[in-house]
Structure 1
């Protein structure tokens, strides 16, 4: 049945795309061109996914873009909301943390937030690489668009992007005098505020600033201490200064700051009742704990970007420095007894530089080239309390990464183009751990230092079947450097792992149909994944990291955007993942044979729509989205106790927007059917621990926007 679904969905999309798009409409009937009304068509969106500006429908790769009014109408407020607009993506709050982002694309990703285990989906804010999962659950502060690139980005975004990349592109200061206020209130004590302003100082200095506060009471009841947990308490700000200088240069200085004082992510204890998973506390939203816990997060960043036009090419330089301090003490067992507690106090510092050269040739050959340099240091005392206060492990790691890359495209004809790309990466990690017992004596120390290097490449062929239909085929490699098991608690389990590698094959079609009223894109992908770095918890509660196995992952993705009428816009996506472990070593065959891959649901789909109804001098805008996710497993042992069961989440929003006024108001709701689902969990039989992290139940509220000038 699944094979039939794969083939029929992909075949339908390809046949429609390759057919005559104008067959869907007779002439210009219904497009609005018979009157003075604007034509009914989708907005033309430009992206920079390939380091140069181009139309999204002319970019030959798997790419989803969320921009403009859709950010508000589809309620995209944080990075985890991206999953409502993108196929084959799992994004959840990381287990035990308040702001860690677990991001999985096409079954490729890392759920452990420990800094020694790098993410495999890279995140960028204005091309600044964000190295850590902790603190990566970013709110939208004056964002212009979000680009989601699926599959390995080995040439242009080489560092740890075997799964894909998410790019936040913020609005540049324009000098416009503007001040906006956005207020949000709702159940669970929701009270958010966002203020954004722009202006010009003097003749050339453009300034923009944004401040956000996000607050919500907890949705999980801790009956031991009679309180609500899993709350939100965030204060963030961003300042941008931009100016032209010289004859052809434009510089932007950005400073951001965030402080979060939310509680950690608390879990609910669960058990089996026959085949049914039930909460031990009587409700999935009731927990117990013998500690109060805390999760204090502080982030700071500064980035300087300079763009210079040299006529035949442009040079973009990005220099950045970021800090992250995260002190958390959390209960992982969900009981009023001390079974498993964790405390960690992370101090992270990163700095980097990237230079991007982009050609401006009018001829058939265009290219992009660059250099990348990155340095990161982490220092984290970590303590795991299993039945009693445990040993403290002082873990330090210094990382340096360098790369050079180039990618060029040649147009053989006005329809056929070939792209070749290459990147050489070199990374070094210097790791130290010092284990100190509760009496102050040193249990052991261990130091390791290792360097990994690798060339990656890309071959891409794209062909315009018509002015509105493009097809492409590509082969791309990806690389994630090796590392060390920073969560090991014995000398023997603190071991190095080798790099992960991937070869990705993709065939796709992109089409603009019905006089640009419909964008229909489809692709088939195949990932040959090798040396997977898998984290598992053994029955004694010890984390083990190893290059366990390889995998074959394949599936299809279909993405649809349609401006059906002047009033109605629809978006939909479908993604499938067919995955299996392979290339077992002799030692691992017994463990992994016949096991499903974790975080790899067989099927996902999304459906969204917005409808604008004029009412006098105002518009009523109705918008909603639904997302279905098939069953998938949360851990390597494929535990059915903590697996995420198939579920559908529905969101909706109704906005009243006066046309000639400076305000608007909206009613919104999320998870309207109040469906419970597991967003993560631990099943550690040896410690008697089985817990799940429940999703947020139904929330609703009122949003008010006001523009002062």
Structure 2
């Protein structure tokens, strides 16, 4: 194991930096695109109009003064995208990963802003939406793509129209509206690691032109990329990084008259994939198990079974009162339940095991009154959000407890963080003249939270409930003391101001200031009563351009600068004088800044060839991080902090080649997605992922009658290995450079989670 600047790097892993010649070629291609486009004289070519709902109404992508990427259903199918995490390749300065623990828990960062810890009570930094319904928790937020119209990525704080917890941006999952016809589609996929997927979608008019029923079902199966080499429990499924998921969707749409629309949605996802075991980057001090040969192999002393259940129902009603006014209501209720097993140390001994239960419920109600006339658009409304987020985990330090003469040692932490939020908002755009327009918006939010935390030591090995492992019975009356029972409230005004200039119909320049905030929170791991952390705030300035040239070239560019204030940071800090302590730090530790640029290009080279590229550049760093030392007093340790999951460069170049043959339409696609190096540990970073690139190729076929389709897709063709998550419970040993001080449990716990290896899949579909 080599060590460089306190960052651990494994030889042979993550060393696929983008070759300078390839990067130069991609950049030079983008820079020469305008000249190439001007040389195109094919009058039949014209860029596609892309519709988005970034400002809560349907608009053209090129008319929206927001940095937004939209991937439509056709592009999703042609590129063989199966999960929202793959969207990160096509949106600059964006990270979307199923990073650790389970296949369904999302880590999302946009422009260096996000939230790593998925524990109940913590708020995300990137808002996730399904048909404008907010998904409050990261568990189950790795959405598999089923019956999707498009996926939108809004970059930068969206505090006015989307509210709290969108300080980095928003990810919108937009499902298809029904056509009114009877339709049915089915597809089957086979691929690497015994992948076998089935998807069924359909719709039928119950009353012609009035009432429609839509259904969707997906059954997604795959063997693991690796295995649990050893397990302390018998008869365990040894697959690691496997997939066992079913998803359902029912939709009822009702149009009693032309100006009135109702949509009732129900969705459920049942993910029974195994718990995801991590790769030990350092040999264990307490076991003789070596570092595995494969980064997808692991060891465990916990059950390998895992479950993530999510369920939601929503009702959308829209009434076009007249040609100017629209009244819209969105009502939703969602819940999720997840008993999960995370073996932090990844050995066959109970050194640091954390079985846990997450149980979340939320209700939202939004009312919008929108106004539109020539030269003026207004979106306004009120929003109510109520969430109950609860859970329990048992931090099992069994080996440590036995060394102290006890049967074991468990620190059990449980509780709830319940929140109510009420907001009123309005945002309008006014056309001053043919060239100039202005945008202004304001949102007022009042948040209330109450929290209860139970935290205590049990000198035994315990699990959250009976039957967690075969034969285990949880003792009656086993509880831990209440250490925190408190409530707090905050209120916030988040504005947006912008100006737009359109010298002609194909070119727009814009400049804006926007603000967003992430809600305050109590420490769900508190060991003593402590006040809640205040909300975080992001202030963002942007200037940008959206342009179409000669109907064949689209260039959208943005420059941005943001200040991230009152950042909340929570860490587990071992106490060298008390091995059983679980010390916490929760607070608004300071401030970070980021400046960057984003460029997105689409070029229709000819009637068959479409070339696209994007590049994101960002310089994000902490400017202040305050801590207190008993001897030295207040200290700024910002030099010890890293902005995680944020490469300085993200870039993708790709193509679609479409040709018609006597057998049907053939579409060849390919892209190369590059991410420069990035840190994975926020405080005293020990893991840095080197730059790497993913090469993806695919070919699709559509029959002349439109009924049959097939797609062959190869992803990560060069089989790159790259880190997407970690657990780090060690510290550098200042007395012995290159050595480490063991953390909780007394072992060298430095664990890596990796992205998918090379895979090849074949999908065959039929539609009628």
- Whether these two folds match at TM > 0.5 is yes
Determine if the alignment matches structure 1 residue 255 to structure 2 residue 266.
yes
Please state how far the C-alpha of 1:704 moved relative to its aligned partner.
0.5
Instruction: Choose the corresponding residue for 2:502, options 464, 472, 479.
Output: 464
Determine if the alignment matches structure 1 residue 694 to structure 2 residue 750.
no
Determine if the alignment matches structure 1 residue 144 to structure 2 residue 149.
yes
Match of 1:547 in 2: 588
Q: 1:648 to 1:495 in 2, by over 3 A?
A: farther
Distance, in Å, in 2 between the alignment partners of 1:633 and 1:693 is 14
The 8 Å contact of residues 485 and 496 in structure 1, kept in 2 or not, is answered as yes
The 8 Å contact of residues 22 and 514 in structure 1, kept in 2 or not, is answered as no
> What number of residue pairs does the alignment pair up?
680
Q: 1:377 to 1:681 in 2, by over 3 A?
A: same
Distance, in Å, in 2 between the alignment partners of 1:673 and 1:444 is 52
Match of 1:333 in 2: 345
The 8 Å contact of residues 178 and 197 in structure 1, kept in 2 or not, is answered as yes
The 8 Å contact of residues 24 and 514 in structure 1, kept in 2 or not, is answered as yes
Q: Deviations over 1:462-512 (max 9, x none)?
A: 000222110000011111111011134x226x6521110111000001101
Determine if the alignment matches structure 1 residue 585 to structure 2 residue 585.
no
The 8 Å contact of residues 437 and 443 in structure 1, kept in 2 or not, is answered as no
Match of 2:370 in 1: 358
Please state how far the C-alpha of 1:589 moved relative to its aligned partner.
4.2
Distance, in Å, in 1 between the alignment partners of 2:707 and 2:28 is 45
Match of 1:602 in 2: 648
The 8 Å contact of residues 94 and 100 in structure 1, kept in 2 or not, is answered as yes
Determine if the alignment matches structure 1 residue 529 to structure 2 residue 564.
yes
Please state how far the C-alpha of 1:414 moved relative to its aligned partner.
0.9
Q: Deviations over 1:604-630 (max 9, x none)?
A: 101121112333232321111221111
The 8 Å contact of residues 270 and 279 in structure 1, kept in 2 or not, is answered as no
The 8 Å contact of residues 14 and 522 in structure 1, kept in 2 or not, is answered as no
Match of 1:644 in 2: 689
Q: 1:339 to 1:586 in 2, by over 3 A?
A: closer
The 8 Å contact of residues 270 and 690 in structure 1, kept in 2 or not, is answered as yes
Q: Which moved more, 1:118-127 or 1:384-393?
A: 384-393
Query: In structure 1, the residue corresponding to 2:688 is in which secondary structure?
Result: coil
Normalised by the length of structure 2, the TM-score is: 0.85
Match of 1:675 in 2: 720
Distance, in Å, in 1 between the alignment partners of 2:376 and 2:482 is 58
Q: 1:322 to 1:441 in 2, by over 3 A?
A: closer
Q: Deviations over 1:165-184 (max 9, x none)?
A: 01111111222111101111
Q: 1:22 to 1:96 in 2, by over 3 A?
A: closer
Please state how far the C-alpha of 1:22 moved relative to its aligned partner.
9.3
Q: Deviations over 1:627-664 (max 9, x none)?
A: 11111111113434x32221111111112322235212
Instruction: Choose the corresponding residue for 1:205, options 177, 202, 211.
Output: 211
Distance, in Å, in 1 between the alignment partners of 2:613 and 2:83 is 20
Q: Which moved more, 1:81-90 or 1:167-176?
A: 167-176
Q: CA RMSD in A?
A: 2.4
Q: 1:393 to 1:191 in 2, by over 3 A?
A: same
Q: Deviations over 1:31-81 (max 9, x none)?
A: 2x3xxxxx2222111111112221101111101000031011222221101
Distance, in Å, in 1 between the alignment partners of 2:416 and 2:128 is 23
The 8 Å contact of residues 668 and 698 in structure 2, kept in 1 or not, is answered as yes
The 8 Å contact of residues 305 and 319 in structure 1, kept in 2 or not, is answered as yes
The 8 Å contact of residues 13 and 520 in structure 1, kept in 2 or not, is answered as no
Q: Which moved more, 1:139-148 or 1:219-228?
A: 219-228
Determine if the alignment matches structure 1 residue 285 to structure 2 residue 345.
no
Instruction: Choose the corresponding residue for 2:111, options 96, 102, 106.
Output: 106
Q: 1:600 to 1:661 in 2, by over 3 A?
A: closer
Match of 2:46 in 1: 41
Determine if the alignment matches structure 1 residue 501 to structure 2 residue 537.
yes
Match of 2:187 in 1: 182
Q: Deviations over 1:364-411 (max 9, x none)?
A: 332110110011112212211123441322211211111000011111
Match of 1:3 in 2: none
Distance, in Å, in 1 between the alignment partners of 2:752 and 2:673 is 21
Q: What is the 5 A alignment of 1:105-144? A: 105-144=110-149
Q: What is the 5 A alignment of 1:146-161? A: 146-161=151-166
Query: In structure 2, the residue corresponding to 1:599 is in which secondary structure?
Result: coil
Q: 1:14 to 1:264 in 2, by over 3 A?
A: closer
Q: Which moved more, 1:338-347 or 1:163-172?
A: 338-347
Q: What is the 5 A alignment of 1:398-477? A: 398-435=418-455, 437-438=457-458, 440=478, 442-477=480-515
Q: 1:395 to 1:664 in 2, by over 3 A?
A: same
Q: 1:487 to 1:650 in 2, by over 3 A?
A: farther
Q: What is the 5 A alignment of 1:10-25? A: 24-25=37-38
Instruction: Choose the corresponding residue for 2:241, options 212, 216, 230.
Output: 230
Determine if the alignment matches structure 1 residue 658 to structure 2 residue 703.
yes
Match of 2:251 in 1: 240
Please state how far the C-alpha of 1:24 moved relative to its aligned partner.
3.9
Q: Which moved more, 1:585-594 or 1:328-337?
A: 585-594
Distance, in Å, in 2 between the alignment partners of 1:543 and 1:180 is 52
Instruction: Choose the corresponding residue for 1:309, options 317, 320, 324.
Output: 320
**Stretches of structure 1 lacking an aligned partner (at least 5 in a row):** 1-7, 34-38
Q: Deviations over 1:102-134 (max 9, x none)?
A: 000011000111121110100111110100001
Q: 1:180 to 1:441 in 2, by over 3 A?
A: closer
Query: In structure 2, the residue corresponding to 1:69 is in which secondary structure?
Result: helix
The 8 Å contact of residues 94 and 111 in structure 1, kept in 2 or not, is answered as no
Distance, in Å, in 2 between the alignment partners of 1:484 and 1:505 is 30
Match of 1:512 in 2: 548
Distance, in Å, in 2 between the alignment partners of 1:15 and 1:503 is 31
**Stretches of structure 2 lacking an aligned partner (at least 5 in a row):** 1-23, 232-236, 399-407, 460-477, 576-581, 629-633, 731-742
The 8 Å contact of residues 90 and 652 in structure 2, kept in 1 or not, is answered as yes
The 8 Å contact of residues 107 and 115 in structure 2, kept in 1 or not, is answered as yes
The 8 Å contact of residues 384 and 390 in structure 1, kept in 2 or not, is answered as yes
Q: 1:646 to 1:543 in 2, by over 3 A?
A: farther
Distance, in Å, in 2 between the alignment partners of 1:423 and 1:125 is 21
Q: Which moved more, 1:55-64 or 1:286-295?
A: 286-295
Match of 2:411 in 1: 391
Match of 1:166 in 2: 171
Q: 1:266 to 1:438 in 2, by over 3 A?
A: same
Instruction: Choose the corresponding residue for 2:65, options 34, 54, 60.
Output: 60
Q: 1:22 to 1:603 in 2, by over 3 A?
A: closer
Q: 1:93 to 1:543 in 2, by over 3 A?
A: farther
Query: In structure 1, the residue corresponding to 2:292 is in which secondary structure?
Result: coil
